[in-house]
Structures are given as structure tokens and as C-alpha cells.
Amino acid sequence: MRITVFITSLGGGGAERVATTAMRHWVACGHDVTLVTLAPTDCDLNEAPDGVHRYALDLIDDSQTPWAGFRNNIARLRATRRAFRAARPDVIVSWIDTTNVLALIAAHRLGTPVVVTEVVDPTQHELPRSWRVLRHVTYRWSRALVVISEGLRSWGARLVGADRVHVISNPVAVRPPPPPPPRSGRKRIITMGRLVPQKGIDLLLEAFAQCADSYPDWELAIYGEGPERDALGALAQQLGIGERVMFLGFEPDSPSAFAQADVFALSSRFEGLPVALLEAMTCGLPAIATDTSGGGPASAITHGVDGYLVPLNDAQALASSLARLLGDPDERRRLGANARRIVDRFGPAPIMAKWDALVDRVAS
């Protein structure tokens, strides 16, 4: 089968890691896989698997005016349609809302079925009105809409009809974790994600500040890049925890980062199903996550069994759960051991089996 994957870039986000995992699987199955990205290859932070044909369109310049935005999107549509024609796919699989819209318009007259994937909670991730209208119109052209948790099924059904909505969770790549490095100094809380308001890093800083004095042998490591970096650094200083908070940038080798940590925390205001959470649990880290709408973290964590769920936007509740774990190594070991079992539900084998069934159905 010829499968074309369409995504903005192979940057460092969860959607990009999921797309990479899917492409690697489809190549291993013997399919002819083509990757089309709007970004050039020098934006890649994930590596395209061997055997994947690549069209990097280099068309992600920011638009300074609405007219410039219109012209740029027309150029993107034309280039995307040319790439789809050259690839001659049996099915196109697209990730991320606005990119999905472009894929559907570009493929509309080609007769190629398109599967679109929503990777965050679309009820919370607000798009500009023009893109919302386009999504409402074009998603009806899709052959299937994939959402990442049962909590989003009803949203998708209202948009495209219940028969075209498929719940397929993000797969977590199973990689042998490296041996833990020699540990000295403080124990570590880790979080990983873009430094944007959605991820709620400010809430995590506030929660850590509330329990930092009681646990002086702990530090907080923040992996990721984004526009909030300076503001978050200033907040850490203001809260008096600046010397115990490290901003470590993007980390392509997440298992190595998790091997140096003792607790994983996710403080997002809204989410899909965070790949970083799945990877941390796979590596045996006890996890604390906000119980966001859409049910993504709740589909991964069973509260009190393999992690803790805390209410949304509640720094006090997050601090209480942190304090419970920081002060109880036996609880950390219990939750971490149970967390490893997440691969039974979210490993590549069970998740990609669902993708294979969907792609076969759509292509036929």
C-alpha cells in the first residue's frame, strides 16, 4: 500500500513522535511511505525513518497580514497537491488541525481518501474563527476522523458522524531505558513539553514552591522550549526556587532524561494524550497529571494505582500530591512498578493494529 503522511514538521512535539512511530511501523510492514511536511528538514527534531520518501515544502513563513496569510496558504495548497499527486497514495494520513484542513482541500479533487487526526482536546484548543469554519466544512470530506480518547468521541461525531470517528490512543515507542546514571545530590521531579500557557508550567512552579522547603533534597527539571521561557524563569526566581529549577531545553532522548528522574509531573490546562506522560510511565516513573477535559491523562493513569490525577488549575492539589510522593519512597516504587504496565495498552503493537485496520478499511 502507498501511504502518505502529512504533518507540519518533524519537530519535537508529541504528534511528531507519534507520526514517526507510525511511519516506522508501516515501513516495517512493507508499505511504500511518503512524508510531506510544510517545514524544511532543518526544522526536524525527530528523524524520519529509513525508507520513507520525503517532500519538505519549506512553506511555514509567518504571515504579517491577512492578505499575506491567504497568499501563503494558496501556495501551501498548490505545493501540497503537487506532492500528493507525485506520491500517488492509496490513503493520506494527516496530523494536527490546521494541517488537516490543508490536506483535505489539497486532496479534495484527487479522489484520495484522507484520515485526519486531532492530537489535543479541540474543545479547549481554540482556533481562529476562519480556521474553525474551514474545519467544520472540510472535516466532512474526510474518510475517517481519529481522536485520542473516548471523551472526544462525541465532539467528533457531531462534526463528521459517529460512523467515521475512531478512538486510537497515541502509541508509546518501547525503547530499553538506559541504565540509571550514578546519582548524587538532589532527587528530581521532571516535566517535559513546550513552554506555552497550555502546559501550565507556572502551576507546577507554584506547587513545587509550596513544598520545596519541606523537601530540600529535591529539584525540578523542565525539558522543552517555547515563548514562555523567560517569564517562567522569572517566576521561579520570584517564588524563591530559582536555584532548584533547571530549564534544560529540548531533549530528543527522553528515556535518558527519565532515567535521571524520580517523579514525573504534568500540569497542563488542556491536553490530548501526552506522549511524554506515556513515555515516563513506560520508564517506570510515578506520575502526577492534571485531569484535563477530554480524558487523555485519565485514560493513561488509574488514580492511586500507577499515578495520581489532580484537579485542573489547582496548584494546591498538585503540591499535596507532590509532597506525598517526595516524602514516600515506597509509594514512588509501587506506582512506578505499576506504571510500566502501560505498554500493554499503549505500546506500538496494540495501537498500530488499530491503525492498520483503519488504513486498510479506508484504502479499500
pTM of the model: 0.84
Angle at 165 between CA 294 and CA 167, to 5 degrees: 50
pLDDT at residue 159 greater than cutoff 80: yes
- Give tens-digit pLDDT for 24-33: 999 999 999 9
CATH fold match for the domains 2-171+347-363 and 187-345: yes
Supply the pLDDT for residue 61. 75
Alpha-carbon span 148 to 195, nearest angstrom: 22
CA dist., res. 171 & res. 16, Å (int): 12
Structure-block grid coordinates of residue 154: 462525541
Q: Which secondary structure element, helix H or strand E, spans residue 232, and what is its range?
A: helix 229-238
Residue 252 — very low, low, confident or very high, per pLDDT cuts 50/70/90? confident
Percent with pLDDT over 90 in the chain: 74
Residues whose CB is less than 8 angstroms from the CB of residue 349 and which lie 6 or more positions away in sequence, other chains included: none
pLDDT category of residue 180 using cuts at 50, 70 and 90: low
Q: In what order do the strands lie in the sheet with 165-167?
A: 53-56, 32-37, 2-7, 91-95, 114-117, 144-147, 165-167
Residue 229 CA to residue 145 CA, distance in Å, equals 34
Q: Can you tell me the distance from the alpha carbon of 357 to that of 55, in angstroms, rounded to the nearest whole number?
A: 26
Secondary element (H or E) of residue 7:
strand 2-7
Tell me the pLDDT tens digit for each residue of 210-227. 999 999 999 999 999 999
Contact 171, 352 (CB under 8 A): yes
| Averaged pLDDT, 53-61 | 90
Question: What pLDDT is stored for residue 83 in this prediction?
Answer: 96
C-alpha cell at 60: 511555514
Spell out the domain ranges in the chain: 2-171+347-363, 187-345
CATH assignment, 187-345: 3.40.50.2000
Cα–Cα distance for residue pair 70/64, rounded to 1 Å:
11
Q: Quick one: pLDDT band at residue 356, thresholds 50, 70, 90? A: very high
Q: 2-171+347-363 maps to which CATH number?
A: 3.40.50.2000
